[in-house]
Amino acid sequence: MKRPKLCTGFLLFVALLLCGASCENRGIRNDAAKESAGLDTIRVSKRSHLEGDTANPYCDIQVEFIYPVTSTGVSVDTLQLFFVQNMLGAAYNTLSPEEAVEAYAQNYIENYKYDAETYQDAVSDMIELNALIPGIDLSDSEHNVNERFYSYYETLSNSIVFNRYGIISFQVVQSNNKGGASSYVSFQNYVIDVNSGQQVTENELFNAGYDQALQNLIITSLLEQNNVKTVEELEDFGFFGIPEIVPNKNFLLTDEGIIYTYNKGEYSAYQLDAPKVFIPYTAIRSLLREHTPAAKLANL
């Protein structure tokens, strides 16, 4: 009569142990799923007219910088250094985020003034040369000389795409115009391992020979996104070189997969939006190196 009680007691003990282990694992996972870093934002917008006259051309600079203020891994200073360097440039490494953004905007204005002065000196030289050579007008439309300098515009910003499990993925977008109808836009992606403070690289994530397998997945993704079945149809839309497309190291990691961004002019005409290719971890699990950030995210 006592055996059932002993058996029941043993099973209850095992169940409690399993429940405790499960709760502990959930607690560990929940802790890992917390934000890798706390964030803040700096916004700066400046306009500067040549010679301080609002009737003259001007430059516009707008910066929106999201940066870490707390960290679950390495020091905040290490994370801020990484963000400043990849958002604003190595020249601002020694400055705090606030100082770096202010210095970047001021440097943009100074460069604009220098370009304007250089341009004006060149125009003056041409006008002087024009006066010395009868019959040649360097200011006509053929030579495209304009005494009035252009206005410049730039916007620089970053966005946080993923900020959990010890990983931060962010994208830097820079758009500028130095006269003329078209603007230049670039997208640069970065992933940092908060626990090590190091940038996560493509070669680190994948096993050798990954590029060929990824190439096929990238092409398939582009076909699906554009609702076509052949590469030739993609080319009709303005893509080019698609059969030779390769992973370009410009990637982001999320909890669902990897995102590649191809800037305008890489494999598509400038008139098209920059292609964004999403590849789920389920499609590349066999390509991932063990114990890398992507492999850990793929096993969540």
pLDDT, tens only, 220-249: 999 999 999 999 999 999 999 999 999 999
Same domain? For 252 and 220 the reply is yes
The boundaries of the domain holding residue 17 are 1-32
Provide the 8-state DSSP code for 191. E
Higher pLDDT, 97 or 184: 97
Could you tell me which of 168, 222, 175 has the C-alpha nearest to residue 39?
Answer: 168
Same domain? For 76 and 91 the reply is yes
Same domain? For 175 and 252 the reply is no
Q: Considering 138, 166, 199, which residue would you say is the last residue of a domain?
A: 199
Same domain? For 14 and 84 the reply is no
* Distance in angstroms between the alpha carbons of the first and the last residue of the chain: 46
Q: How many CB atoms lie within 10 A of CB 246?
A: 13
Please report which confidence band the pLDDT of residue 34 belongs to, taking 50, 70 and 90 as the band edges: confident
Please report which confidence band the pLDDT of residue 89 belongs to, taking 50, 70 and 90 as the band edges: very high
Same domain? For 161 and 55 the reply is yes
Same domain? For 84 and 151 the reply is yes
Q: Which two structure tokens, joined as six digits, stand for 286?
A: 């066999």
Same domain? For 206 and 190 the reply is no
The number of domains in the chain is 3
Same domain? For 212 and 271 the reply is yes
Same domain? For 80 and 94 the reply is yes
Chain center to CA of 112: 25
Residue 167's pLDDT is 97
Please check the confidence at residue 35 and state whether its pLDDT lies above 50: yes
Same domain? For 156 and 53 the reply is yes
Please report which confidence band the pLDDT of residue 121 belongs to, taking 50, 70 and 90 as the band edges: confident
